[in-house]
Amino acid sequence: MSGSIAIVCGGGPAPGINSVISSVSKVFLKDGYRVIGLHGGYKSLFSEEAVFQDIDFAFADDIRGRGGSALQMSRHKPTDDEFSTDFFVKYDVELLVTIGGDDTASTANRISKFLKSKNVSIQNIHVPKTIDNDLPLPEGQPTFGYQSAKEAGVKIVQTVYEDARTSGNWFIISAMGREAGHLAFGIGTAVHSPMIIIPEMFNNVPIT
């Protein structure tokens, strides 16, 4: 019997998470690993009583086509002082699979360095999930989260465009993305918007 792998979901939900959890689980279940799905993201991983469930083939099949996330998510970003080897050692974890955006990825990197400093040999695989599309991935590499948000946004803006055309009114549509304008730009170009304003246009220039 092999050791275990732990799956952690960070940030907010996005269509496709359950498919990722299901696919990853099946790959390692076939190789004899125990698959542990953590509820509550990193906050649960480093708590005294981690909340988790064992994932088997039946569960993986059941969640594959479902929306949301079968594993409860959290935006908690732990500090270095919160890190601990307890969970990894107790459950013989050999691989940590993280699903999330830039915060989740950078935290996974810090965890890997911490574990290495403690001579705990654990690998990490990060699955990029970001609506903001702000992860430094190879050019043209899509992520789930962004793609589904863009598709939904395009449908909404196309509907609003028809309202604008028939009423003669102007509409301002805001897209999420924090400091990254990828989603707004992607939606705007897809619907041929007459004007697109994104944060990158201002290059940290104060807006007055």
92: left (phi over 0), alpha (psi -120 to 50) or beta: left
CB 44 within 8 A of CB 74: yes
Q: Dihedral through CA 38, CA 43, CA 46, CA 52, nearest 10?
A: -20
Q: What share of the chain is helix, strand, coil (3-state, %, to 5)?
A: 40, 15, 45
Catalytic pick from 31, 132, 134, 163?
A: 132
The length of the chain in residues reads 208
Classified as helix, coil or strand, 49 is: coil
For the question of residue 132 being annotated catalytic, the response is yes
Token pair 């698959």 in the structure block, residue: 35
The Cα 61–Cα 28 span in angstroms is: 14
- Phi (first) and psi of residue 139, to 5 degrees: -55, 135
| Catalytically active residues, by annotation | 132
